[in-house]
Structure 1
Amino acid sequence: MLFVRSLLFNIAFYANLILWLILLLPGLLVPRRTFIRFAQAWAHSSLWLLRVLAGTRIEVRGREKIPAGGALVAAKHQSLWETFALVTLFDDPTFILKRELMWIPFFGWYLWKAGCVPVNRKAGSSALMQMTARAKEEAQHGRQIIIFPEGTRRPPGAPPAYKYGVAHLYHNLGFPCIPVALNSGLYWPRRQFIRRPGTIRVEILDSIAPGLSREEFFKLAQERIEESSDRLLAEGQRELGMSDSAQKAAVSASKV
């Protein structure tokens, strides 16, 4: 049954994505804020499919902690899930992402329309400066700048591998940072076909006010995100009935 439900969801998810990629073409002509609402509607439709077909629900804790206006959002990254689900939690979100994604037909056009912030990872320090300037401009327009501090998906339970770019952004933006913890990798494992039924839990943590040094912020943000994510991981393991050995096996499988 798990295989069948996962198969049905994956077929429906990508069919729905293709449909929205076509339907959104006229959206390139509307104001950006309107386009963001269209993108959020697609994300909601994907979450609905996940709940109905795979039996995977969502629980968001701390939604009231999201401040109004511009902010930096530093989120744990375990799965493809948060690349679209987090869009539904914020009023005017955008992502820090690698530049190559902007070159993909249709998908890249929409990233451009949404005002995403591209990063040329091969450009070194100049790329960091360009990214920071663009992110600051977007934040000053009241947007929430979403970044995955580890840069790539990490299996749940894997040692953290935070990059220092998030501290550079925090120091230069002058906006609060919203840490976000989650356990999505248990239910939507990276590089795996299976979608497990249960409850993906997301926790919005207390914002970190601007003004800390880079080092203080870097340590504090990592501690908050990791402590909360570990707690959510334990909750998910109990829900799924996974032993420590089973979880270690799942982590190893997702590294392949």
Structure 2
Amino acid sequence: MDTEALHTERDRSSAPETHGSGAGEGSRSVRVSRQSPRRWSPWRRAGVLGGACAVFLLLLSHFVMQPFLIPSTSMQPALEVGDRVLVNKLAYRFGSEPRRGDVVVFDGTGSFVPEGVAENPVSAAAREGLSALGLAEPSDTDFVKRVVGVGGDRVVCCDKGGRLEVNGVPVDESYLYAGDAASHVPFDIVVPQGTLWVMGDHRSRSRDSRDHLGEPGGGTVPLDRVVGRADWIGWPAGRWSPLPATGAFDRVTAPEGAHG
């Protein structure tokens, strides 16, 4: 028997067909598997990028640096209405405390604003998101003032020259609004430990610690209510600059037994 011929016939019969419907189906399956992945539209990419940027800015403003829109004239001339100051939230996070002369942003709940004052939750959430980006006025419980006295300080107004005294040392407040007195309201207070005595630079237009002397807390602000230190004016562009430091309190020393 011719076994070689038989093997040759088997090989031919088992060879795949290269024509007909089988070939067409095979080529179609190859074409389908090689299709490129669907691409995002430009609008979708822009939306995702915008959302990621918004989340990043919200996290940055919550933990590191928050824009704060100045709503009033109480801190003129250093800060004008409409300025966006950059509040350094890390300034007092690692054991440091506010110093005399610092401009701070704080939550006045319980000191400048009574406890229990609530805002509509929906409007509060919207306002908080916008104010965190410096696009809306801050909450009615948020304030910006200058630290005049820290825990243990005795703050008196006024001496014979009309100046503020801190621990018996007269303070020349060059940052005050032109023509303003140090205070038209006389006071003599020892600042409790763990709190701050704060005042605006435009004294005749500022509701500050003086206005809350007879209320719970005596007008002082607890340290744990301080949001951060105002370090820079970020907007408008023409006012971009650091807040200048003041040497007004350089001669003031802490009273015996206190830190400052």
* TM-score for the superposition, normalised by structure 1: 0.24
Structure with more helix by fraction: 1
* TM-score for the superposition, normalised by structure 2: 0.23
Structure with more strand by fraction: 2
Q: Which has the larger radius of gyration?
A: 2
